[in-house]
Amino acid sequence: MDDIPIPLPTKPERFMDRLRAFMRARHMAYRTEKTYCVWILDFIRFHNKQHPETLGTTHIQEWLSYLANNRHVAINTQKTALNAVVFLYKQFLQMNVGDIQFAKANKGRRLPTVFTHDEAIRVLAGMHGTHRLVASLMYGSGLRVMEAVRLRVQDIDFAQNGIFVRAAKGEKWRRTLLPKSLIEPLKTQIDYALALHRQDLAEGFGEVYLPYALAKKYPAAPRSPAWQYVFPASNRAEDPRSGVMRRHHIGEQQIRRSVATALAAASIHKKASCHTFRHSFATNLLRNGVDIRNIQELMGHSDLSTTQIYTHVIGIHERGVVSPMDVDF
């Protein structure tokens, strides 16, 4: 249950607890909370655990330069670290950090690894059951692994062949494609999930986790079939936030391990992972002539430049450019 926020005291006193409580009051994604806290703690430790209120612009610049010059982080990693400390000072501490000047990381953004369609099918063929269905959604619908395992029954729109992705990365919501080939397997999976839910109800359980204050606003919703996870965990567990015994969704790590095993079995030696399916979804849509703005919407990218990286992945050899070695002059 790695997407469940750790419990906080009712009246937080420790610095990091107060920071986390501040983030949650603003409904920040838990992944963002965890990432920001990692970098803020890194910043504090770099300056020998001095309190951030005693530090300032110069200290931020020194740390960011250290990340670039000594730890050789990538550009996007350094940007994330900067965003974390800027949030700390401007939002939480209400302190002005001024104009920050620092050494920029020079490890450029790499082109994402993608599967050919044949490679994707070979990996999927090496997977079974629920794990295969989750991976098929990553490839067929462009879902992130966390989005796939968190799907609720009501998110699958069979009538319009669509999938509703709620509160995804950056708290964005979107609709994406539901592959026709996955309709029957998903119906079977949902039947299984709801049968498990009925069993839980019969045994005095059956309440699923609802984000934010939805459970208070809609008291019947946690037991509603619509809110149940499409991919429920095999066992119930105690929710550390409330102490309530409930059934969570299957873990992301299960899917990651299953994909890694299938990659090895398929003898695919690319630096690939679950996310490679999502990259391959976008790249193959582009290959098939889908407009890049439609791909942007399906992927949930805020900025078109993020989607445009897939135009580089396809490569100039797919645009009719031929090496002089292969030309008969």
pLDDT score recorded for residue 1: 54
pLDDT tens digits along 273-303: 999 999 999 999 998 889 999 999 999 998 8
294 contact partners, CB below 8 Å, separation of at least 6: 285
pLDDT score recorded for residue 161: 93
pLDDT tens digits along 234-278: 999 888 767 789 999 999 999 999 999 999 999 999 999 999 999
- The question of whether 198 is a catalytic residue gets the answer no
- State yes or no: pLDDT of 316 exceeds 80: no
Give me the catalytic one of 59, 175, 275, 287.
275
What token pair was written down for 283?
């790249």
Q: What is the H or E stretch that residue 321 is in? A: none
Report the distance separating Cα 82 and Cα 79, nearest Å: 5
Q: Residue 25: what residue type?
A: A
Give me the catalytic one of 131, 132, 144, 197.
144
Distance of alpha carbon 95 from the chain centroid: 31
Give me the catalytic one of 24, 122, 169, 246.
169
**Contact indicator for 259, 274 with CB cutoff of 8 Å:** yes
Closest C-alpha among 133, 249, 234 to residue 188: 133
Among left, alpha and beta (phi > 0; psi -120 to 50; other), residue 98 is left
Higher pLDDT, 203 or 172: 203
57-69 vs 75-86: helix crossing angle, rounded to 10: 160
pLDDT score recorded for residue 318: 62
- The question of whether 301 is a catalytic residue gets the answer yes
Give me the catalytic one of 20, 247, 249, 278.
278
What phi and psi, each to the nearest 5 degrees, are found at residue 176? -140, -175
pLDDT tens digits along 144-182: 999 999 999 999 999 999 999 986 565 678 999 999 999
- The question of whether 275 is a catalytic residue gets the answer yes
Partners of 174 in the β-ladder: 165
pLDDT tens digits along 75-128: 889 999 999 999 999 999 999 988 888 877 776 567 889 999 999 999 999 999
Q: Is the dihedral of CA 147, 152, 158, 159 positive or negative?
A: negative
- The question of whether 169 is a catalytic residue gets the answer yes
- The question of whether 144 is a catalytic residue gets the answer yes
Report the distance separating Cα 12 and Cα 25, nearest Å: 13
- The question of whether 66 is a catalytic residue gets the answer no
